[in-house]
């Protein structure tokens, strides 16, 4: 009886302990986590933690997720678990300010109606709508929506969620200051064209006004208002010392700056003078630079050099039948855009023209992070080569790659000192001066010798990328002007302003990596196979061009009475090419087979390790433990 009583009591205590520990873990250890993932996927960054800790606005988050339909898509179900997990961390670290609600919008239910009304997008699957979106609201009913969580943006999941919460806690439209020497608001004709009713604002202005409040600044501005969150400088030329000082102090106060400079702005080179109506003289200096500010910010930029890149050259029409690569005009693909930065991470490519190169100054206190880079098939060209009647065929023929990758755009962060260490430049207005209305001028702000915190600056060595002809196509649709993007130039600027308009905590976020990690060795082998295939394909194209040239030479000799012989030669050349074509294709298939063998061998080994080796090791460990226990038992029996 005592033995049965002890056994029953032990079982009862085990059950009580089991439930007690689970309840304790639920309420006392809810925030305790052990993140062993390589990219720290389930650990909030310091920027998100600071934002949540200082959150004052109550926010309600509603995650609409069709759970019953996700079982057919395992990858999406795994991603949904990560989204829920991350949202749960946001709620638990917000001191009760964030309320999270997970809703399964069944078909034809009130929940589905609320999802559709809020802007959550449904994906059709077998006649039913699958929902996976987020709706956030604050106390004044302002609303932010993620229509559908795209797995392609998994690296930026934490940034997207933090940005949504920041927008709800600070719902005012960001104010963007614009200082430019180009007529972005009126079009190529400037204000004179606008007065004649011929205004055609740049497409980038239409895009910016959709998201931000734009405040134009003239070239003589001496103070930048504190209500401006981001200052955009586009081709800043001939700025006064007072204006440069105002920009310097704005950045030191914590203002964010985006600067588009250029060694040769092609738009400005074609733009007529607003007073005389005459275009600039050929070969005149059309560069823009901020040398004093760049020195203070730790950026090196030479306005006398242009980046030429044969690997990213755009094709241009030189004549009725001549199309050549122009190495000074670049079509930058996605692989040359920083994948780890939210500004460029999701862009497919941008177009640039006569861009300069940026470098970090030695000994700078700032961190210089490239956003756009050239390929390794690039070189620096004197700006004179592109100023007057550029010669694309000649530039391509004389091209010699330096093997260096040049930075075309960069993010600059960190502490900086003023570009004006002596203080306010002499000649500026004093406090005792009067305004035009006779009232005393506002007291000048005290000089800042260094930044209050880390500066946040984006520098782009090309201003032409803002012009319409390099990134949009102008079409007429039933009398309406329709701008069709052919590159992501506009998206890049919107992303940059959107990123810098947030808090320092929001800016500090970077991509966190994907929860579904590929086999890197397998992917490397696939790339090698693709490169080998591409190299052989390029060789085949060269053989084709050479054969066509020979045939053309034969046809050019077709003079007076030898047509039959020449036609036979032509046919012989064509037959020889076809034989070479078959041979090359066979070689291509053999290269693919050989490299696929390497891929299959690695895949087989990885599958064996994950599927077979671990169970074998566990089984062997259990067998060794069983043998050891048996021998231990035998030794105890032998002693007794």
Beta strands in 550-596 (DSSP E): none
171-274+283-424+448-501 CATH fold: Rossmann fold (3.40.50)
- Which architecture does CATH list for 37-168? 3-Layer(aba) Sandwich (3.40)
Picking from 254, 263, 223, 258, the residue whose alpha carbon sits closest to that of residue 240 is 223
What was the pLDDT predicted at 1?
A: 56
What was the pLDDT predicted at 287?
A: 92
Query: What contacts 24+ positions apart, CB below 8 Å, involve 35-42?
Result: 37/515, 38/513, 38/517, 39/512, 39/513, 39/514, 40/512, 41/82, 41/512, 41/513, 41/515, 42/82, 42/85, 42/86, 42/89
Picking from 513, 515, 518, 528, the residue whose alpha carbon sits closest to that of residue 606 is 518
**Rounded to an integer, what distance in angstroms lies between the CA atom of residue 89 and that of residue 93?**
6
What was the pLDDT predicted at 106?
A: 87
What was the pLDDT predicted at 47?
A: 79
What was the pLDDT predicted at 541?
A: 56
Q: 121 vs 64, 83, 402, 417, 418, CA distance in Å?
A: 10, 17, 49, 48, 49
Tell me the whole-structure pTM to 2 decimals: 0.64
> What are the structural domain ranges in the chain?
37-168, 171-274+283-424+448-501, 520-558+565-639
**β-bridge mates for residue 176, sequence order:** 214, 230
What was the pLDDT predicted at 577?
A: 64
Picking from 409, 408, 466, the residue whose alpha carbon sits closest to that of residue 182 is 466
List the structure tokens of 312.
């990213």
**β-bridge mates for residue 64, sequence order:** 103, 133
- Grouping H, G, I as helix, E, B as strand and the rest as coil, residue 247 is helix
- SS3 string of 204-244? HHHHHHHHCEEEECCCCCCCCCCCCCEEEEECCCCCCHHHH
**Rounded to an integer, what distance in angstroms lies between the CA atom of residue 35 and that of residue 53?**
21
Regions of the chain short of the pLDDT cut 50: 430-437, 477-478, 559-564
Helix (H) or strand (E) holding 459: strand 455-460
What was the pLDDT predicted at 14?
A: 82
What contacts 30, CB < 8 A, 6 or more positions away?
Answer: 92
**Rounded to an integer, what distance in angstroms lies between the CA atom of residue 496 and that of residue 456?**
11
DSSP string of 79-112, one letter each residue: HHHHHHHHHHHHHHTTTT-EEEEEE---TTSHHH
């Amino acid at each position: 009886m005592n033995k049965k009583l002890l056994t029953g009591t032990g079982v009862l205590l085990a059950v009580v302990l089991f439930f007690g520990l689970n309840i304790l873990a639920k309420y006392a250890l809810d925030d305790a986590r052990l993140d062993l993932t390589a990219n720290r996927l389930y650990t909030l960054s310091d920027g998100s933690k600071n934002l949540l800790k200082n959150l004052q606005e109550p926010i309600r988050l509603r995650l609409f997720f069709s759970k019953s339909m996700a079982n057919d898509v395992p990858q999406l179900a795994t991603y949904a678990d990560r989204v829920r997990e991350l949202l749960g961390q946001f709620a638990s670290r917000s001191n009760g300010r964030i309320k999270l609600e997970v809703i399964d919008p069944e078909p034809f239910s009130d929940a589905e109606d609320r999802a559709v009304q809020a802007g959550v997008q449904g994906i059709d699957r077998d006649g039913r709508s699958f929902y996976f979106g987020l709706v956030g609201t604050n106390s004044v009913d302002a609303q932010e929506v993620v229509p559908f969580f795209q797995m392609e943006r998994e690296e930026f999941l934490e940034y997207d969620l933090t940005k949504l919460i920041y927008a709800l806690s600070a719902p005012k439209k960001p104010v963007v200051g614009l200082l430019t020497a180009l007529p972005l608001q009126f079009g190529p004709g400037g204000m004179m064209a606008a007065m004649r009713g011929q205004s055609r604002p740049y497409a980038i202005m239409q895009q910016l006004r959709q998201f931000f409040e734009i405040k134009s600044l003239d070239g003589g501005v001496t103070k930048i208002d504190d209500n401006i969150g981001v200052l955009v400088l586009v081709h800043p030329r001939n700025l006064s010392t007072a204006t440069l000082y105002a920009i310097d102090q704005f950045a030191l106060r914590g203002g964010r700056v985006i600067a588009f400079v250029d060694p040769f702005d092609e738009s400005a080179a074609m733009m007529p003078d607003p007073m005389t109506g005459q275009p600039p003289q050929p070969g005149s200096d059309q560069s823009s630079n901020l040398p004093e500010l760049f020195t203070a910010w730790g950026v090196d930029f030479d306005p006398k050099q242009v980046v030429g890149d044969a690997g990213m050259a755009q094709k241009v029409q030189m004549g009725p039948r001549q199309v050549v690569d122009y190495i000074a005009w670049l079509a930058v693909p996605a692989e040359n855009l920083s994948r780890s930065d939210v500004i460029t991470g999701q862009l497919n490519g941008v177009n640039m023209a006569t861009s300069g190169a940026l470098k970090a100054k030695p000994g700078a206190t700032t961190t210089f992070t490239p956003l756009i880079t050239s390929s390794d098939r690039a070189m620096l060209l004197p700006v004179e080569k592109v100023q007057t009647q550029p010669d694309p065929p000649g530039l391509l023929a004389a091209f010699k790659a330096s093997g260096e990758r040049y930075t075309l755009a960069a993010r600059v962060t960190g502490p900086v000192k003023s570009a004006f260490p002596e203080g306010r430049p002499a000649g500026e207005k004093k406090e005792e001066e009067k305004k035009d209305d006779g009232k005393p001028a506002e007291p000048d702000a005290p000089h800042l010798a260094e930044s209050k915190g880390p500066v946040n600056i984006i520098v782009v060595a090309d201003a032409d990328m803002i012009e319409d002809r390099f990134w949009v196509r102008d079409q007429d649709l039933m009398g309406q002007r329709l701008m069709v993007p052919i590159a992501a130039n506009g998206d890049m600027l919107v992303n940059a302003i959107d990123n810098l308009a947030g808090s320092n905590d929001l800016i500090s976020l970077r991509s966190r990596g994907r929860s579904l990690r590929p086999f890197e060795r397998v992917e490397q082998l696939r790339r090698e196979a693709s490169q080998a295939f591409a190299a052989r394909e390029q060789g085949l194209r060269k053989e084709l061009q050479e054969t066509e040239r020979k045939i053309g030479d034969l046809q050019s000799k077709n003079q007076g009475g030898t047509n039959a012989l020449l036609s036979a030669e032509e046919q012989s050349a064509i037959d020889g090419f076809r034989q070479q074509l078959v041979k090359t294709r066979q070689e291509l298939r053999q290269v693919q087979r050989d490299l696929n063998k390497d891929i299959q061998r690695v895949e087989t080994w990885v599958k064996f390790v994950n599927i077979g080796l671990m169970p074998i090791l566990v089984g062997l460990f259990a067998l060794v433990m069983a043998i050891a226990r048996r021998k231990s038992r035998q030794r105890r029996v032998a002693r007794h």
